[in-house]
Amino acid sequence: EVQLLESGGHLVQPGGSLRLSCVTSGFTFSSYAISWVRQAPGKGLEWVSGISSSGGGTYYADSVKGLFTISRDNSKNTVYLQMNTLRADDTAVYYCAKDNLWFRELSAFDYWGQGTLVTVSS
Amino acid sequence: QSALTQPASVSGSPGQSITISCTGTSSDVGGYNYVSWYQQHPGKAPKLMIYEVSNRPSGVSNRFSGSKSGNTASLTISGLQAEDEADYYCSSYTTSRTLGVVFGGGTKLTVL
C-alpha cells in the first residue's frame, strides 16, 4: 500500500524557518518524483515545489523561489522541504504528493499524504 | 505562474450531467497534455480523478471523463450522485516563467 506521511508542521514566528519531512512507503521511491502542494485555510490548492526521482531536478513556484529548498534522501524514502524567512501567507496545510509516472516529474499526483499544518504568526 | 480559471461553483441534480471548465494558456493547458483533475472532500486530501487530459486512474468511476480543446480543459461528471459533491481542481504542467505545475482556483460542486 502506497503511503506518504508528512511531519514537521507547527506554529512559527514570521521570519522563522521550518523543515517538513515526507516519509513514504509502498512503492519504488527512487523511481518517482515528489511534489509539495499547499492549501491555505479556506483556499485552493497551490503547487509549491517538486523534485525529480534522482533529485537532480528541482522546481519551485515563483512565490517560494529562493526561500524554500526541496531535497530527497533515496536511502530513507524521504523528501524534505526547508522553508526559510516564513511569512504569514505561507500559513497552510502542506501536502506531499507522488507523481504518477515513472521517471517523469510534474505530470499528475496519484497519491497524497494527509498534510501537515504550518502556521506563521507572532 | 497564474492560476488556471475555473468557475467558482456548479450544481446539478442527481442523475444529471455537469461540466467544469478550466482555462489556461498555450504555456500550460494548450501546450501540453499533462492536464489533471482532482476531487477534494472537506478535510480530506485531494484525489486524482483524471490525468493526461482524459485518462482515469484505476478505481475511478467511468462517470468521470475529461477532454481538452485549445487552451480549455473540461471535466464532465455524468449520472450525478450525492457523493460527487466536493471541490474540484484542475492542474497542468506549465512552462510559463519557470517549469512547474499550476492549479485552477477550484470549483465547488453542489448536488441539489
The answer to whether B108 touches B8, Cβ cutoff 8 Å, is yes
pLDDT, tens only, A8-60? 999 999 999 999 999 999 999 999 999 999 999 999 999 999 999 999 999 99
- Residue B2 pLDDT: 76
Residues 2-31 of A with CB under 8 A from B: none
CA-based nearest distance B105→chain A, Å: 6
Encode chain B (112 residues) as per-residue pLDDT tens digits. Answer: 679 999 999 999 999 999 999 999 999 999 999 999 999 999 999 999 999 999 999 999 999 999 999 999 999 999 999 999 999 999 999 998 889 999 999 999 999 9
Distance (Å) of CA B53 to CA A79, A122, B60, B65, B109:
28, 43, 14, 9, 20
The shortest CB-CB distance from B103 to any of A44, A106, A113 is to A44
B46 burial type by CB count under 10 A (0-12 exposed, 13-18 middle, 19+ buried): buried
Q: How confident is the model at residue A96 (pLDDT cuts 50, 70, 90)?
A: very high
Cβ contact, residue pair B101, A50, below 8 Å: yes
Residues 65-94 of A with CB under 8 A from B: 65
- H or E segment to which residue A50 belongs: strand A45-51
- Residue B1 pLDDT: 62
Average confidence score pLDDT of chain A = 97
**Interface contacts (A, B; CB < 8 Å):** 72
- Residue A35 pLDDT: 98
- Residue A73 pLDDT: 97
pLDDT at A122 over 70: yes
- Residue B34 pLDDT: 96
